[in-house]
Amino acid sequence: MAIYDETVGGAAIPWDKLADGGFFRLEHTLNVAAAIARHATPAAASEFAIDDILQLIDFPAGCVFLYSIFRTVTPDASASTCSLGEAAGTEFDAAVDLTAAAGTVTVGVVAAGTEDNFHSAANTADLKILTNVLATGEWVWSIVGIYGA
């Protein structure tokens, strides 16, 4: 298992301009070919391996998450699935199909007692590869919540 930081360049709202109790949406577009090109280790094999974690979205302390939206732009060709959440295993969505047709949208309501808890520390929202390797595809992941709740 390796961890790859893909948060650089991810679209995030300007936290300093958001009032306490405000809603937010954080979004990241993951293009696998571009991500592989940025990292030397998977580039050798031209793929990310099972259990690899791609950190996609930085979020600050004070977040409460409500739901996750995952949209396929271009599907993966190798029967991969992933989980979306935090590397420690707390998940927004437990088993997302990365081979779903272009335009497929997966909406996951964040379950009570997991990611909907108040986050007292900054962290990253991650994609963890569960089955097969990941060599192709593009997705847009958005997470929606309340800041400063």
Which range in 14-28, 105-119, 129-143 is most confidently predicted, on average pLDDT?
Answer: 129-143
What is the predicted pLDDT for the residue at 14?
56
Q: What is the pTM of this model?
A: 0.87
Cβ atoms of residues 86 and 143 within 8 Å: no
Q: Taking residues 90-114, what's their average pLDDT?
A: 83
- Does 109 or 103 have the greater pLDDT score? 103
Residues 60, 71: Cα–Cα separation, whole Å? 24
Q: Among all chains, which residue has been given the structure tokens 């948060």?
A: 7
- Count: domains in the chain: 1
- What's the CATH code of the domain at 17? 2.60.120
1 has pLDDT over 70? yes
The range of the structural domain enclosing residue 89 comes to 3-147
Q: Taking residues 78-85, what's their average pLDDT?
A: 89
Tens of pLDDT, residues 121-142? 888 899 999 999 999 999 999 9
